[in-house]
Structure 1
Amino acid sequence: MNPEELVRTERLVLTRPVPADLDDVFALYSDPGVWEHLPSGRHTDPATTRRLLDHVEAGWEAMGLGSWVVRDHDGGLVGTGGCDLRLGLAWNLGYRLARDRWGRGLAQEVVRAALAAAARVRPDVAVTAYLLEHNARSRAAAERAGLDLVWRGPDAGNPDPAAVRLLYADRPLSAIVVRELTAT
């Protein structure tokens, strides 16, 4: 096991996903309450969640880092989160927490662990956060993490044509990287 596969924080245990996590992660991703800012992203069948976990696993295999399943020290599901390599260009920092866990600073624990892991695994790769503008909590988390806004524009592929995405980064990004990260 590489050191990134199991990370403990003050209140959390972050683990590389395993097949036994499918039911818990599906329950989280199928909950409309956690998709307040992007209702179209909600999972409606376990096969969608399985594909997500397969994608995360591919990242772990290729890079030695990906998103974790996040649990409290008693084993209760808190959510998912971490850094996944996006398009081979940048780490994408993200998390999805159970609605009843919001507002407790748990996202910041995941974010700090993810930033530290990305710095250990590939410090040469920028860390970004790609989020919807109206998601004030995610914006605040990105800013608390020390990321700076580097782009604002339309959310390609969003069923809401008025949706606006923000791209935050821990360092300046080339125009080419910004274009690639925001085109999908």
Structure 2
Amino acid sequence: MRSGLDPAERVEALFTDRLILDRVTSRDVDDVHAVFRDPATWQHLPAGQYVLREQSERLVTRSDESWERVGLGDWAVRAVAVPGLAAGAFVGIVGVTRAELDAGVVLNLGYRLDPSAWGRGIATEASAAARDAAARVQPDLPLTARALTANPASIRVLERVGLSEVWRGTVEADGITAGMELVVSSDRVLADDVLDGIIALG
């Protein structure tokens, strides 16, 4: 695992045909919180809904730590050429963040978008850009993702960006997903102890 990366080794801004992704900072906390406190974005996991602004502040702090450790973290997703969305509009976040397990370090791909951005292919477009950044910056670290089976749209996004299902089952670990059925996806075969660590994250 690399640490103390030079800023030039990070990919803090990404550009697609319709989007700009730039590193989430403290300036984005209010926009992040507007998405994460919206119950519509948590319809498959109501217990995850953010209530306090401090939760969104902690998300940005964790992202900063990930940027420093592995040169990757969360990006703000902004519309540029999406019909029906204002140019420059903040529509959510996508991230490739560091997850430290007993068995080693993996990368976790995730996103959360405002309902105004749903059904437009934005999740796939942003996630593909994040996947490509991970492959450039940390090609030796597995890129993984977790999604509830109750959220088939997210599972389809993971499939479209090239991640394959490596485990499906009920979460037994404590946490907000305990007792729910989860899919773990990855860009490569995972060692058993690594997979066990990811499952334990819930």
Distance in 1, matches of 2:22 and 2:55, equals 20
Distance in 2, matches of 1:68 and 1:103, equals 20
Structure 2 equivalent of residue 183 of structure 1 = 200
% identical aligned pairs: 40
Correspondence 1:5 to 2:21: no
- Contact 1:82–1:110 under 8 Å retained in 2: no
Deviations 1:61-95 (A, max 9, x none): 11111110111122211110021121252111111
Deviations 1:4-26 (A, max 9, x none): 11111111111111111011001
Distance in 1, matches of 2:177 and 2:13, equals 37
Distance in 2, matches of 1:72 and 1:183, equals 35
Distance in 1, matches of 2:44 and 2:20, equals 26
Superposition TM-score, scaled by structure 2 size: 0.86
**Which structure 1 segments of 5+ residues have no match?**
none
Distance in 2, matches of 1:39 and 1:54, equals 23
Structure 1 equivalent of residue 83 of structure 2 = none
Paired residues for 1:12-27 under 5 Å: 12-27=19-34
Please point out which of 139, 142, 146 is paired with 2:158: 142
Structure 1 equivalent of residue 3 of structure 2 = none
Q: 1:160 to 1:149 in 2, by over 3 A?
A: closer
Superposition TM-score, scaled by structure 1 size: 0.95
| Alignment: residue pair count | 184
Task: After TM superposition, give the deviation of residue 160 of structure 1 in Å.
Answer: 6.0
- Contact 1:82–1:113 under 8 Å retained in 2: no
Correspondence 1:82 to 2:98: no
Paired residues for 1:69-108 under 5 Å: 69-73=76-80, 74-87=87-100, 89-108=105-124
Correspondence 1:171 to 2:178: no
Q: 1:58 to 1:173 in 2, by over 3 A?
A: same
How well do the aligned residues superpose, as a CA RMSD in angstroms? 1.4
Moved more, 158-167 or 18-27: 158-167
- Contact 2:23–2:75 under 8 Å retained in 1: yes
Task: After TM superposition, give the deviation of residue 144 of structure 1 in Å.
Answer: 1.1
**Which structure 2 segments of 5+ residues have no match?**
1-6, 81-86
